[in-house]
Amino acid sequence: MTEAVQGAGRIVFQAHELRDRVLALGREISDAYGPEDRLLVLGVLKGSFVFMADLVRAIDVPLQVDFLIASSYGDEQVSSGDPKLLYDPGSSLQGRAVLLVEDIVDSGSTLRTLLSTLRERRPASLEVCVLLHKSAAGVEPPPRWVGFDAPNEFLVGYGLDHAEDFRQLPYIASL
């Protein structure tokens, strides 16, 4: 598929580019963890669900999966800067190796809030894997694994949405 769905704009990352990069991230993450780490992959819903599904299938070490929901956009194209935790994971993080999987780091406010909240739960380690990272996002420390540097545009597809539309696209497009 080379043409974007009507309204989605130009294609920024093709489906084959996403597939290849997710496989590479899976190898890198697999090299960083062992069975003794009790890896918990924690996805930030809803945007990360497609990426996370592909990523966990590419990771070659035992793992468990859980989710949380955070929101800072609503129906807008700009972050509110005030992220809300709408669903808290049921899994205990204490003493676990936790890999937080996020779709995109834009302003960094959601990720900063989530990392602060999750650190309070005393994981053995807490790392971040993000599919898309905008260079303007100032998160310290930066995500350990980044799929792609993203242009400063509003992106949709491969799980990312605008007002719940476009998640189904197999590529990422600029709105």
Residues with active-site annotation: 106
Q: Examine residue 171 and state whether it is found in any structural domain, yes or no.
A: no
* Residue 107: other Cβ atoms inside 10 A: 18
Number of domains in the chain: 1
Alpha-carbon gap, residue 65 to 52, rounded angstroms: 9
* 108-164: pLDDT as tens digits: 888 888 898 899 999 999 999 999 998 765 677 789 999 999 999 999 999 999 999
Domain contains 170: no
Tokens coding 106 = 């834009």
Backbone dihedral region for residue 135 (phi beyond 0: left; psi -120 to 50: alpha; all else: beta): alpha
Give the pTM.
Answer: 0.87
Let me know if residue 12 belongs to a domain. Answer: no
Assess if residue 11 is contained within a domain.
no
